[in-house]
Amino acid sequence: MSEQTVISIKNVSKAFKIYRDKPLTIKEKFLKLRSNEYSNFYALNDVSLDIKKGETVGLIGHNGCGKSTLLKLITKILYPDSGEIEVNGRISSLIELGAGFHPDFTGRENIYINASIFGLSRKEIDGKVDEIIRFSELGDFIENPVRTYSSGMYMRLAFSVAINVNPEILLIDEILSVGDANFQKKCYDKIEGFKNNGATIVIVAHDLGTLEKICDRVIWMNAGKIVEQGDADRVIDLYTQHMNKKFVEQTQKEYINGTMKQASGDENPQIAAPKQSELEFSEDIRWGSKEVEIIEARIINRNGESTNAISAGEPVTIEIDYKVNKPQKEYIFGVGFYTSERVLIYGNNTEIGKLKLRSIQPRGTVKFQIDECNLLSGHYKLNVAVVDGDHRALDFIKYYMDFSVVSNDKAVGVLSIKHHWEVD
């Protein structure tokens, strides 16, 4: 391991046994009442990684991809099945906060116990105890047994001990939600101080914005392997695109399954597509003469599937099935998009689109085609309507269905606008 490398991970694998039906008692084991068969789940599979001195590295990936297992191997909470891990420097780990705390001892007494676990001498703890207490904001509660603490107080004390031991290597695992907003800011400021003083930091978090700000490098893990690593913004963008795609696919699968269940009579109204012939809307949602009636409306994705989840940037079609109960001199079909708070953000109709409809089939479908959806990530509502040439409502359904949009654009608001920046 070179002088600049403080953590060296070479071909490390770690598997856990997943029992199908493990015996729980001696009797069950003796009489073989349960199977002892198991399969191996590889939390890490032949992972190699070097982390340099003073580097801040973020680990990202969905739950179960191996991030936390890797940190526990580095701290020797766990040991690898194969491979080698070398660490050069004193480690402080914000992983198992409060490990070693005794419930009957006071907060002050537990500071001495916990700090000694991190390798501090009695003299070093004496010099830091006041700062630890001040950082924890526990005040007079520090003299009470920790069994009387709330879970938040307990975690704040444990965090304050771990972060005030001046480590050379700091490992953090999804615990930066401790305390209120002010305490969290103080924690981040402390971590920034470590970074500026040359400490090596390895952090696991789902807060991608924070990781992008503080990390020199981000590592994306999946199924126990490293998928990609490099500059924080590049890797996080790739990961975000991947997760957005997975979300849309999963939502689409649930939507289709819900529609199939509804068709078979096993309805789940939270997922299933609406059956317009069976659904009823209140008068403030649906109104009109019904001389022309909307039978059903659908959002169609680029694959031609009915959906309630859209990937921004892709083509989308709104289909409106109708039937004519009484012929009109002119027909105007329209659509509208609302935020989840029911604020109109876009509306259009065939008249605006200069499509004159003076004669239509008794039954048919009108399509509103969008070449590229430019909504930002969020939850929206669709309205559909048909009016006559005098804009008299024939059938107007204000909030026909809910749908979601997933966008890779980090802008805020509701619309993604094509643009570029210039500085003269």
236 and 291 co-located in one domain = no
- Residue 40's domain comprises 5-242
Flag whether 203 is in a domain.
yes
Flag whether 251 is in a domain.
no
299 and 348 co-located in one domain = yes
Angle at 55 between CA 53 and CA 60, to 5 degrees: 135
Quick one: which H or E segment has residue 190? helix 181-196
41 and 156 co-located in one domain = yes
232 and 293 co-located in one domain = no
Q: Using CA atoms, how far apart are residues 194 and 53, in angstroms rounded to an integer?
A: 12
Flag whether 97 is in a domain.
yes
Flag whether 91 is in a domain.
yes
Flag whether 289 is in a domain.
yes
The amino acid sitting at 220 is: W
The whole-angstrom distance between residue 192's C-alpha and the CA centroid of its chain comes to 24
210 and 356 co-located in one domain = no
Q: Using CA atoms, how far apart are residues 338 and 350, in angstroms rounded to an integer?
A: 19
Q: What is the pLDDT along the chain (424 residues), one digit of tens a residue?
A: 556 889 999 999 999 887 666 666 666 565 555 556 677 888 999 999 999 998 999 999 988 888 989 998 998 888 999 999 999 887 877 776 656 688 899 999 988 888 887 778 888 888 889 988 988 888 889 999 988 988 778 878 888 887 777 778 888 876 655 556 777 777 778 788 888 888 899 998 888 888 888 899 999 999 899 999 999 999 999 999 999 989 898 888 888 877 656 555 554 444 344 444 445 788 889 999 999 999 999 999 999 999 999 999 999 999 999 999 999 999 999 999 999 999 999 999 999 999 999 999 999 999 999 999 999 999 999 999 999 999 999 999 999 999 999 999 888 999 999 888 999 8
CATH of the domain at 323: 2.70.50.60
Based on the structure, what is the number of domains in the chain? 2
Flag whether 371 is in a domain.
yes
β-bridge pairing 344-349 and 225-230: unpaired
216 and 95 co-located in one domain = yes
203 and 68 co-located in one domain = yes
CATH of the domain at 100: 3.40.50.300
215 and 304 co-located in one domain = no
Q: Which of 221, 242, 263 is the last residue of a domain?
A: 242
Flag whether 259 is in a domain.
no
119 and 168 co-located in one domain = yes
292 and 209 co-located in one domain = no
Flag whether 266 is in a domain.
no
228 and 318 co-located in one domain = no
145 and 44 co-located in one domain = yes
